[in-house]
Amino acid sequence: MSHTSAISPESVTSSPLGYDARPETVIVADQRDGWWQALREVLSYRELFWALTLRDLKVRYKQTALGIAWVVLQPLFTGGVLALIFSRFRSGQDAGAIEAMLFYLAALVPWNSFAQGVYSASVCMESEANLISKVYFPRIIVPTARVLASSVDFGITIVVLLLAALFTGYFTWGLLLAIPGLLLIQMLSACGIGYLVGILNAQYRDVKYVIPFLLQSGLLVSVLLSLEDWPAWLQPWLRFNPMAAVIETYRALVSHQPIDWPLVALGTMVSILLFVFGAWVFRRRETYLADVL
């Protein structure tokens, strides 16, 4: 839609001299930026990225006594409860309490951050409607900042997992090495799904009622049980879930099992596809965002 060659402080002077040298922005009806220009524009707004991410983080735990400690306590409590109640329902597993706790913690740490990112991205257009209808910036920043903020939670809780693995003697260096790659899969999927549901929710508010239900189902499918606990005919389909790749890999690492590499490769592919598809849909619909909000 536009051609913004630069939005840089260098171009700002208080005198109108040399005005013709200013970068010219052209907005033509029914014309969209190329991907490359759009990307450059997003990058020129990178400071807004951090400002919005930081705001989400600061606001979330303001006026709580325990503050950021909640991030740590949530997976610990949930993991403890799940380990107590559900581990005995998993077929063919007779592992001890420590192993059960690690099994759930390894799933909850990435899943909570993923679910938080997707959920907050799904409602972000609605909750930032005031912002979007009053000031221009590349809209994709809003859901991306939400996912980034949820990844900061991940950064804290993963330390809990690492410490737990360390104290129980299940720590491997592979676990540490796997984190960046797995985080990337997780964030790409969260962004892709977040873009898709966020932009759809702007117009069809039904989406935000569907998302919590889907996330809950996801928790059931990929956190409560491991992939191999499912019936064999269902497993090939469940492997398309990119979070299954993330969770199964963490689980394999904390239980010293071999990593399912085909699953990781599939997860990487699916997450990239999700990201591209989400961004594509988002860009198609963002033009008239302010009109439908």
Binding residues vs another protein (CB under 8 A): 1-2, 7, 9, 11-12, 14-16, 19-20, 22-29, 47-48, 51-52, 54-55, 58-59, 62-63, 130-137, 200, 203-204, 206-207, 210, 281, 284-285, 287-288, 290-292
* Alpha carbon distance 178, 262 (integer Å): 15
Q: How far is the CB of 61 from another protein (least distance, A)?
A: 10
Minimum separation from the CB atom of position 286 to another protein (A): 10
Name which of 86 and 137 has its Cβ closer to another protein: 137
Taking the least distance from each CB to another protein, the nearer of 61 and 86 is 61
The rounded distance, in Å, linking the Cα atoms of 16 and 176 is 55
Nearer to another protein, 166 or 292 (CB): 292
Q: What angle do CA 271, 259, 221 make, to 5 degrees?
A: 55
Phi, psi of 274 (to 5 degrees): -60, -45
Establish how many alpha carbons lie within 13 A of residue 145's alpha carbon, considering only the half-sphere containing its beta carbon. 26
Q: Residue 237, Cβ neighbours under 10 Å: how many?
A: 9
Q: CB of 87: closest distance to another protein in angstroms?
A: 37
> Of 208 and 239, which CB lies nearer to another protein in the complex structure?
208
Using the structure block, give the residue that is written with the tokens 């879930």. Answer: 241
Q: Which is nearer to another protein, 240 or 288 (CB)?
A: 288
| In the complex, minimum distance from the CB of residue 23 to another protein, in angstroms, rounded to a whole number | 7
Rounded CA-CA distance 288/215 in Å is 28
Tokens standing for 144? 């991306």
CA-CA distance, 265 to 244, in Å (whole number)?
A: 12
Q: Would you say 177 or 292 has its CB closer to another protein?
A: 292
188 contacts 275 by C-beta, under 8 angstroms: yes
What's the min distance (Å) between Cβ of 283 and another protein?
12
Cβ 231 to another protein shortest distance, Å: 29
